[in-house]
Structure 1
Amino acid sequence: MDVNSIDSMDFEDLDVLEAYRRSNIPRNRVNPFDLNDDEFRYKYRFNKRFGLKIIDLIRDDLAYDTRGQALSPELQVVCAIRNWARHEIQDDTGDLHGVSQSVISKTCKKIASILAHMSQRYIKMPTTLDEQEESMRKFRSIANFPKIIGVIDCTHIQIKKIRADGGLLYINRKGFPSINVQVVCDADLKIMDIVTRWRGSVHDSRIFRECRLKQRFEAGAFSGLLLGDSGYPCTPYLFTPLLNPQTEAEQRYNRSHIRTRNTIERCFGLWKQRFRCLLRGLYGDIETARKTIVACAVLHNIAIDMKEDLFPGERHVHTENNIPVQPYVANPIRGNIRRRQFIETYFS
Structure 2
Amino acid sequence: MSCYRNCVWDTYYWRFLDDDEENSEQYGELLLARRQYKMRVRINIDNWDDLDFFMRFRLQKSTVRMILDIIQPSLEIDETRSRYIQPLVQLLVALRFYALGSVQIAVADFAGICISSVCRIIRRVSFALAQLWSRFIKMPKTQHELHAASREFYSIAKFPRTIASIDCTHVKIQSPGGDHAENYRNRKSWFSINVQTVSSANLKILNIVARWPGASHDQHIFNNSSLKMQLERGDYGHFIIVGDSGYRNTKYLATPFLRCETAAENLYNESQIRTRNVVERSYGVWKRRFPVLSLGMRVIISTVQLIIVACAVLHNIAIDAKEEVPPPEIEGFEEMLAATVVPNASNTEINDAGCVRDHLVQNYFAQL
TM score, norm. by length of structure 2: 0.85
- Relative to structure 1, the CA distance from residue 312 to residue 273 in structure 2 (aligned partners, 3 Å threshold; closer, same or farther) is closer
Task: Tell me, yes or no, if the aligned pair for 2:176 and 2:300 is still in contact at 8 Å.
Answer: no
Distance 1:304 1:328, change over 3 A: farther
Q: Which residue does 1:54 correspond to in 2?
A: 67
TM-aligned CA deviation for residue 254 of structure 1: 0.3
1:158-214, Cα deviation, whole Å (9 max, x unpaired): 111122121111111111111111000100100000011111111101111111100
Identity over the aligned pairs, expressed in percent? 39
Q: Are 2:320 and 1:300 aligned?
A: no
Return closer, same or farther for 1:113/1:335 CA change in 2, 3 Å cut-off: farther
Q: Counterparts in 2 of 1:22-61, with a 5 A limit?
A: 24-61=37-74
CA distance in 2, matches of 1:92, 1:170: 26
1:177-326 equivalent positions in 2, closer than 5 A: 177-223=191-237, 224-311=239-326, 319-321=338-340, 323-326=342-345
SS in 2 for 1:157: strand
- Mark the runs of 5 or more structure 2 residues left unpaired by the alignment: 12-34
Counterpart secondary structure, 2:148: helix
Q: 2:359 aligns with which of 323, 341, 344?
A: 341
Q: Tell me the distance in 1 between the aligned counterparts of 2:52 and 2:349.
A: 55
SS of the residue corresponding to residue 353 of structure 2 reads helix
Supply the distance in 2 between the matched residues of 1:211 and 1:19 (Cα, whole angstroms).
Answer: 43
**Alignment check: 8 A CA contact 1:234 1:331 kept:** yes
2:160 is aligned with 1:146: yes
TM superposition shift of 1:323:
2.7
8 Å CA contact 1:33, 1:48 repeated in 2: no
Matched to 2:144, the amino acid is: D
Alpha-carbon shift at residue 88 of structure 1 (Å): 3.2
Q: Quick one: distance in 2 between partners of 1:284 and 1:115?
A: 17
Q: Distance in 2 between matches of 1:15 and 1:72?
A: 28
Distance 1:229 1:23, change over 3 A: farther
Structure-2 change in CA distance of 1:176 and 1:30 (3 Å): closer
Measured in 2, the distance between the counterparts of 1:234 and 1:137 equals 22
Q: Equivalent residue for 1:126? A: 140
| 1:169 is aligned to 2:173 | no
> Unaligned stretches of 5+ in structure 1?
1-11
Once the two structures are TM-superposed, the CA of residue 322 in structure 1 deviates from its matched residue by 5.2
CA contact (8 A) 1:142 1:260 kept: yes
Contact 1:159 1:282 in 2 (8 A): yes
Aligned residues: 336
Q: 2:100 aligns with which of 80, 86, 100?
A: 86
Report if aligned partners of 1:156, 1:320 keep a CA contact under 8 Å in 2: no
Letter in 1 for 2:359: Q
Distance apart, 1:31 and its partner CA: 2.0
1:332 aligns with 2:346: no
Shift of 1:335: 4.5
User: Which deviates more, 76-85 or 88-97?
Assistant: 88-97
Residue 7 of structure 1 corresponds to none
* Contact 2:56-2:99 at 8 Å conserved across structures: no
1:281 and 1:301, CA in 2 relative to 1: closer, same or farther beyond 3 A? same
Alpha carbons of structure 1 residues 332 and 106: separation in structure 2 relative to 1, 3 Å: same
| Match in the other structure for 1:159 | 173
Aligned counterparts of 2:59 and 2:262: Cα–Cα separation in 1 = 48
Give the distance between the partners of 2:154 and 2:228, measured in 1 at CA.
Answer: 23
The structural deviation recorded for 1:265 is 0.5
1:279 and 1:191 map into 2 onto residues whose CA distance is 17
Deviations 1:231-275, CA, capped at 9 Å, x for gaps: 000000000001111111110100001111110110000000011
Match of 1:9 in 2: none
1:61-72 correspondence runs (5 A): 61-66=74-79, 67-72=81-86
Query: 1: CA distance between counterparts of 2:77 and 2:353?
Result: 57
Whole-angstrom distance in 2 between the partners of 1:59 and 1:267: 28
CA distance in 2, matches of 1:38, 1:172: 37
Asked whether the 8 Å contact 1:155–1:320 carries over to 2, the reply is no
CA drift at 1:46: 1.7
| Greater CA drift, 327-336 or 76-85 | 327-336
Change (3 A) 1:274 1:322: closer
Tell me how large the CA RMSD over aligned residues is.
2.4
DSSP-derived class of the 1:149 partner: strand
1:144 and 1:256 in contact (8 A); partners too = yes
Q: 1:143 to 1:31 in 2, by over 3 A?
A: same
